[in-house]
Amino acid sequence: MTTSEPADTLVIGAGIAGLVLARELVLQGRTVRVLEASDRAGGQIAAIELDGLRLDSGAEAFATRGGTVREYLERIGLADRIIAPRDAPAWLHAAEGQTVPLPAVSLLGIPAAPLAADVVAVVGRRGAWRGLLDALLPGPVGSRLPTVGALVRRRMGDAILEKLVAPVVEGIHSTHPDDLPVTAVPGLVHNLLRENSLGRAVARMRIDAPAGSLVASLDGGMSTLVEALLAELTRFGVAIEYGARVAEVHPDHVVLANDRDDDAEPEVRHGHVVVAAPGLIDPADGSSAVQTATHLALLVLAPDDRLAAAPRGTGVLVARGTAVVARALTHVTAKWVTVQAAADGREVVRLSYERTPTLEQARRDAEALLGVSIPSDRVIAGEVVTWVRASRIAVDDEIPVAGEQVAGTGLAAVIAQARAMAEQLGALNDSDTPTKESIS
Ligand SMILES: Cc1cc2nc3c(=O)[nH]c(=O)nc-3n(C[C@H](O)[C@H](O)[C@H](O)COP(=O)(O)OP(=O)(O)OC[C@H]3O[C@@H](n4cnc5c(N)ncnc54)[C@H](O)[C@@H]3O)c2cc1C
C-alpha cells in the first residue's frame, strides 16, 4: 500500500458540507485534507456556461429560514453578494391543464383561505368547501400526523392536497407530501396548535415571512460560495485531492479506489475520517446506496417582449396528469435581476424532469407553461444536466457523517449541520478518535 503525508483530519467529499467542515476544522488548528472523487469541488452546486452566460446548473438558491446561511455568508465575506428573488407570484399548471397563479396567501400550496377565488380556481368549489372544515376542527386534530400529506388531507381534504399541495411540494422537495415529514416545515404544527386552524397557521407564517423572503441567492450564482470557500482553503493550506474516490472507510484511514490500474497497490490516506459524501459505499455491509436522478434543461432564448413581461412570474409548478412532461419551470431571468442584467435582453428558463428530456421537449414544455410561442429558431443555446443523488445510508457507527445524507436536502440544513459537527469535533480531545455517538 502507498500512503501520503498524514493529516489529522480527512474529509471525504468536497461538496458544500465537506468544504464548510474543512474550513471550520482548519480554523480550529487541525491539519485537514479533503478527498474528492470528481475533478471539481462543489458537488450539487455547479455552474455551466451557455451562450457566454454563467448559470447555476445545480442548487440555485438557499432557504433564508433561521438565518443560518446568511450568517455564514456574512462570516466568509459574501454579505454584499446576497440577492433576493423578484417578489412575483409563482404559478401552477393544474391537473386540468390550465395555468393559474398559486393562491396569494399559501405555504407549500396550503391555502390560508380555502374559499378564496384563486383556490377555487384550482380545486373546484367542492374541494374548497371541504378545505373550510379545517377552521371548524379543534387545533390538535391531525397535529400528531407524521407527514405534511397526512396533515393536510385530514384537515383540508384530498382535493386541496392532490391538486394544490402535491404539485408545489413535488416541485420544491422532489417528493410527494405523503413522504415529506411535517418537521420539514418548521413552525407549521406549532402555529396550527396556536391558531386552531391550518389555514390561519399559514396566514400567520406568511406575515412573519412574506413569499419573496423565503429564499435568496448570490450575485454570480451559488458557485460563488464554492469559489469563496476554495479560496479560503487554499489560503489556509488545505490540500484537496481530486480524482480520489474513496472505496473503503475506517475511523483512522481510508483506502482509495483503484480505478485505473488493477495491478497497482491500493492507496491509503491516514487521519481522523469524516464522511461528507452522500452515497459512499457503506463500510459496514458493503452495500451501495439507492440512487435517484433529477434532470435539468437550461434554455437561453432570444429577446422577446412577451417573455420579458414575465407572464408566469418567477416560474410554474406542474401538477401530474397534464401533457407537460417537466415537473417545474423557473423563469431565471424573471426571478434573479443579476442574471437578467447579464443576459442583456435574452431570456433564461430552467426546467426540471424525472426522465432525461430532449431540448425539443424542454422547448415545447416552456412554450406550454409560459403561454408564449417559442419557435425553435428562438432557442439560442440549451443544455441538459443530469444529477444522480444517493439516498441516505448508514455507515459504521464510529465514523462521523456530515452532509445531505444526514442533514436532509438543502443548503441551509447541510451548512448548519456541517458547522455544528465541526464545533463538536473541535470540542473533542485531539487524541480521541471522533465517533458518531460523541458528536451527536
Ligand atoms: C438540481 C438540483 C437543484 C437543487 N437546488 C437546490 C436549491 O435551490 N436550494 C437548496 O438549498 N438545495 C438545492 N439542492 C440540494 C443541495 O444542492 C444539496 O442538498 C447540497 O448541495 C448537498 O451538499 P453535500 O455536500 O451534502 O453533498 P454533495 O453536493 O453531493 O457533495 C458530495 C461530494 O462528495 C463527492 N463524493 C461522492 N462519493 C465520493 C467518494 N466515494 N469519494 C470521494 N468523494 C466522493 C462527490 O463527488 C461530491 O463532490 C439541489 C440539488 C440538485 C441536484
Give residue 43 CA to ligand 1 midpoint distance, Å: 4
Give residue 45 CA to ligand 1 midpoint distance, Å: 6
Q: Of 288-297, 336-345, 350-359, which range is least confident?
A: 288-297
Q: Which of 12, 34, 44 to mutate to test the pocket of ligand 1 (most atoms within 8 A of CB)?
A: 44
pLDDT above 50 (res 264) = yes
3-state class of 2 per DSSP?
strand
Atom of ligand 1 nearest to the CA of 385: 1
DSSP string, 280-323: ---TTT-PPPPEEEEEEEEEEE---HHHHT-TTTTEEEE-TTSS
| 301's grid cell | 432564448
Name which of 180, 79, 68 is nearest 413 in CA terms.
68
Atom of ligand 1 nearest to the CA of 17: 25
Q: Of 46-60, 94-108, 189-203, which range is least confident?
A: 94-108
Name which of 355, 393, 152, 105 is nearest 275 in CA terms.
393
- The pLDDT value given to residue 257: 87
Most confident of 87-101, 187-201, 402-416: 187-201
Atom of ligand 1 nearest to the CA of 38: 47
Percent of the chain residues topping a pLDDT of 90: 70
- The pLDDT value given to residue 280: 64
Grid cell 374541494 — which residue?
127
Most confident of 27-31, 86-90, 148-152, 169-173: 148-152
Give residue 274 CA to ligand 1 midpoint distance, Å: 16
| 313's grid cell | 412570474
Mean pLDDT (the chain, rounded): 89
Name which of 90, 148, 87, 110 is nearest 336 in CA terms.
87
- Confidence category of residue 438, pLDDT binned at 50, 70, 90: very low
pLDDT in tens, 341-388: 999 999 999 999 999 999 999 999 999 999 999 999 999 999 999 998
Give residue 291 CA to ligand 1 midpoint distance, Å: 13
3-state class of 107 per DSSP?
strand
Report the half-sphere exposure of 214 (CA within 13 A, side-chain side). 16
Of how many residues is the chain composed? Answer: 440
Q: Of 35-39, 274-278, 365-369, 415-419, which range is least confident?
A: 274-278
Percent of the chain residues topping a pLDDT of 70: 89
- Confidence category of residue 259, pLDDT binned at 50, 70, 90: confident
Residue 32: beta bridge partners? 9
Residue identifier of the C-alpha nearest atom 1 of ligand 1: 58
Q: What residues have CB less than 8 Å from 95, skipping those under 6 apart?
A: 162, 163, 319, 320, 321, 322
Relative to beta strand 90-93, strand 315-318 is parallel
- The pLDDT value given to residue 369: 97
Q: Residue 86 corresponds to which amino acid? A: R
Give residue 247 CA to ligand 1 midpoint distance, Å: 19
Residue identifier of the C-alpha nearest atom 31 of ligand 1: 15
Residue identifier of the C-alpha nearest atom 14 of ligand 1: 59
- Confidence category of residue 436, pLDDT binned at 50, 70, 90: very low
Atom of ligand 1 nearest to the CA of 247: 41
Query: What is the CATH code of the structural domain delimited by 105-209?
Result: 1.10.3110.10
Give residue 426 CA to ligand 1 midpoint distance, Å: 24
Atom of ligand 1 nearest to the CA of 13: 34
Give residue 286 CA to ligand 1 midpoint distance, Å: 22
User: What is the Cα–Cα distance from 144 to 147, expressed in whole angstroms?
Assistant: 9
Q: What is the fold, at CATH topology level, of the domain defined by 9-43+223-285+392-439?
A: FAD/NAD(P)-binding domain (3.50.50)
- The pLDDT value given to residue 429: 46
DSSP string, 19-83: HHHHHHHHHTT--EEEEESSSSSBTT--EEEETTEEEESS---EE-GGGHHHHHHHHTT-GGGEE
- The pLDDT value given to residue 127: 97
Give residue 232 CA to ligand 1 midpoint distance, Å: 20
List ligand 1's pocket residues with C-beta within 6 A: 12-18, 35-38, 43-45, 58-63, 245-246, 276-278, 280, 294, 296, 387, 389, 403-404, 409-412, 414
User: What is the Cα–Cα distance from 171 to 328, expressed in whole angstroms?
Assistant: 6
Q: Of 124-133, 272-281, 430-439, which range is least confident?
A: 430-439
pTM, entire model: 0.89
Name which of 410, 383, 312 is nearest 54 in CA terms.
383
3-state class of 359 per DSSP?
helix
- The pLDDT value given to residue 288: 54
Residue identifier of the C-alpha nearest atom 48 of ligand 1: 43
pLDDT in tens, 313-322: 999 999 888 8
- Confidence category of residue 437, pLDDT binned at 50, 70, 90: very low
- The pLDDT value given to residue 380: 98
- Confidence category of residue 409, pLDDT binned at 50, 70, 90: confident
Q: Where are the domains of the chain?
A: 9-43+223-285+392-439, 105-209, 291-390
Residue identifier of the C-alpha nearest atom 16 of ligand 1: 410
Most confident of 62-66, 71-75, 250-254, 320-324: 71-75
Q: Which CATH class is domain 291-390?
A: alpha beta
- The pLDDT value given to residue 305: 97
- DSSP assignment letter at 161: I
Q: Of 128-137, 169-178, 189-198, 230-239, which range is least confident?
A: 169-178
Q: Of 166-175, 219-228, 299-308, which range is least confident?
A: 166-175
Atom of ligand 1 nearest to the CA of 387: 53
Give residue 410 CA to ligand 1 midpoint distance, Å: 9
Give residue 11 CA to ligand 1 midpoint distance, Å: 15
User: What is the Cα–Cα distance from 151 to 235, expressed in whole angstroms?
Assistant: 49
Burial of 312 (0-12, 13-18, 19+ CB in 10 A): buried
